[in-house]
């Protein structure tokens, strides 16, 4: 079997655009991947066709590891855009292999190590401005069956925060903790906003509310600062969503700069790269929890990975807080039941695109301007939306 065709499909989902990749083999079998990347979807699409396509056409999908290793070696510059292009095609190759062999992808990755996987909700606080509004929305999350949720209470903070801004963030977290009780896990997302001294000061203020983890408190490449924050605070640190190369994860893990490793499988090279990262983390006694803030194909790929990786603790979920047409993009698959994930039925990833639904929601330029843009914050607090 050889890969004979590569197609891309770009569609809008509110604050995101999703870029799907479809491979077709010479026997007609297809494989689906996702290469969505905030603000850079059209650039990734160009790169997929300009550089990746010519290197995978004619390849045997069974050679996925060597094909992708060569792509990662030869891309030379590194970074999110090219690694996302590679990752999307890698995921599609696994789907193609699974469909050809009539096996789910998680079996190809080593087989199931679990039969249940908890989810943590994200994106649920779109529309909330006040601490009371956050609390009301948090109660709704618990009502759906979730026992974990994540929120960013920091507005558009950058490097430092005023005393009033710190007080506002603390009020939000305190209100959510009171609303959901002691047993629900609260992940505090910082989006790399703060310098280490401010991150430490803010973390100490949040310690009474028992964060399950403090996520990306400083710039993603500032590993020395990240380790400084980790050593200063009494709760776990999570990081890794904006790292892309295996060598970067080796530094993150070997220096023990975090407690939870959050590689994004749609950006770090795909599923096999994710397994390598998980193995590194396992050797150092660390858990992994893949980041996934994009579309349904990327989430499904993460779930197959999760089923086959023993040190996965929990999986991020936006699917219940996305646009109403999200599940229709992939023929209606809904991965969540009462706060836990299920796998789709069928070989490969178990998904197919509904191209009519994709076409009905065309690409929108800069639909999500920036996490530090007050116009975005106003949009997010006026209606349902979701940050990364």
* pLDDT tens by residue, the chain, 388 residues: 999 999 999 999 998 999 999 999 999 999 999 999 988 999 999 999 999 999 999 999 999 999 999 999 999 888 999 999 999 999 999 999 999 999 999 999 999 999 999 999 999 999 999 999 999 999 999 999 999 999 999 999 999 999 999 999 999 999 999 999 999 999 999 999 999 999 999 999 999 999 999 999 999 999 999 999 999 999 999 999 999 999 999 999 999 999 999 999 999 999 999 999 999 999 999 999 999 999 999 999 999 999 999 999 999 999 999 999 999 999 988 899 999 999 888 999 999 999 999 999 999 987 666 788 777 666 666 644 444 4
CA distance linking residue 305 with residue 292, whole number of Å: 12
> What pLDDT is recorded for position 23?
98
CB atoms within 10 A of CB 83: 28
CA distance linking residue 138 with residue 136, whole number of Å: 5
Q: In angstroms, how far is CA 167 from the centroid of its own chain? A: 29
Look up 49 and say whether it is catalytic.
Answer: no
Instruction: Provide DSSP, 257-282.
Output: --SEE---TTTSS-HHHHHHHHHHHH
Predicted TM-score of the model (pTM): 0.95
> What pLDDT is recorded for position 93?
98
Which of 267, 291, 304, 361 is the catalytic position? 291
CA distance linking residue 325 with residue 283, whole number of Å: 41
> What pLDDT is recorded for position 369?
65
Domains defined along the chain, listed by start: 107-348 (3.20.20.120)
Closest CA to 106 of 271, 286, 279, 338: 271
Diameter over CA atoms, the chain: 64
Look up 219 and say whether it is catalytic.
Answer: no
CA distance linking residue 267 with residue 69, whole number of Å: 14
Which of 191, 267, 272, 361 is the catalytic position? 191
Q: Which two tokens stand for residue 333?
A: 């698959």
Q: Which two tokens stand for residue 369?
A: 């301007």
| Beta strands, E only, the chain | 3-13, 16-25, 30-34, 117-121, 148-151, 185-189, 213-215, 237-239, 260-261, 287-288, 315-317, 336-337, 340-341
């Amino acid at each position: 079997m050889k890969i004979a065709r590569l197609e891309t499909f770009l569609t809008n989902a509110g604050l995101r655009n999703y870029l799907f990749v479809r491979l077709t083999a010479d026997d007609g079998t297809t494989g689906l991947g996702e290469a969505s990347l905030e603000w850079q979807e059209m650039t990734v699409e160009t790169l997929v066709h300009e550089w990746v396509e010519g290197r995978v056409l004619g390849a045997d999908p069974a050679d996925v590891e060597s094909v992708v290793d060569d792509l990662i070696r030869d891309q030379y510059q590194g970074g999110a855009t090219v690694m996302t292009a590679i990752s999307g095609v890698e995921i599609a190759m696994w789907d193609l292999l699974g469909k050809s062999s009539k096996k789910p992808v998680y079996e190809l990755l080593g087989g199931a190590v679990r039969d249940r996987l908890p989810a943590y909700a994200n994106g649920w606080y779109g529309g909330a401005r006040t601490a009371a509004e956050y609390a009301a929305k948090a109660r709704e999350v618990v009502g759906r069956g979730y026992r974990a949720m994540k929120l960013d209470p920091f507005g558009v903070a950058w490097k430092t925060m005023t005393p009033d801004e710190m007080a506002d963030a603390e009020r939000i977290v305190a209100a959510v903790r009171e609303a959901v009780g002691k047993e629900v896990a609260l992940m505090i997302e910082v989006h790399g906003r703060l310098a280490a001294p401010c991150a430490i000061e803010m973390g100490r203020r949040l310690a009474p509310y028992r964060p399950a983890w403090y996520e990306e408190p400083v710039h993603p490449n500032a590993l020395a600062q990240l380790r400084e924050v980790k050593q200063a605070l009494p709760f776990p640190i999570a990081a890794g969503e904006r790292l892309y190369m295996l060598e970067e994860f080796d530094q993150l893990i070997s220096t023990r700069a975090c407690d939870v490793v959050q590689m994004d499988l749609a950006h770090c090279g795909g599923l096999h790269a994710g397994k390598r990262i998980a193995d590194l983390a396992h050797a150092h006694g660390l858990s992994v929890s893949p980041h996934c803030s994009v579309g349904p194909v990327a989430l499904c790929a993460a779930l197959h990975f999760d089923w086959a990786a023993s040190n996965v603790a929990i999986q991020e979920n936006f699917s219940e807080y996305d646009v109403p047409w999200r599940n229709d993009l992939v023929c209606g698959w809904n991965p969540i039941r009462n706060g836990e994930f299920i796998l789709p039925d069928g070989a490969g990833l178990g998904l197919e695109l509904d191209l009519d639904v994709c076409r009905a929601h065309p690409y929108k330029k800069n639909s999500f301007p920036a996490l530090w843009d007050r116009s975005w914050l106003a949009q997010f607090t006026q209606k349902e939306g979701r940050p990364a």
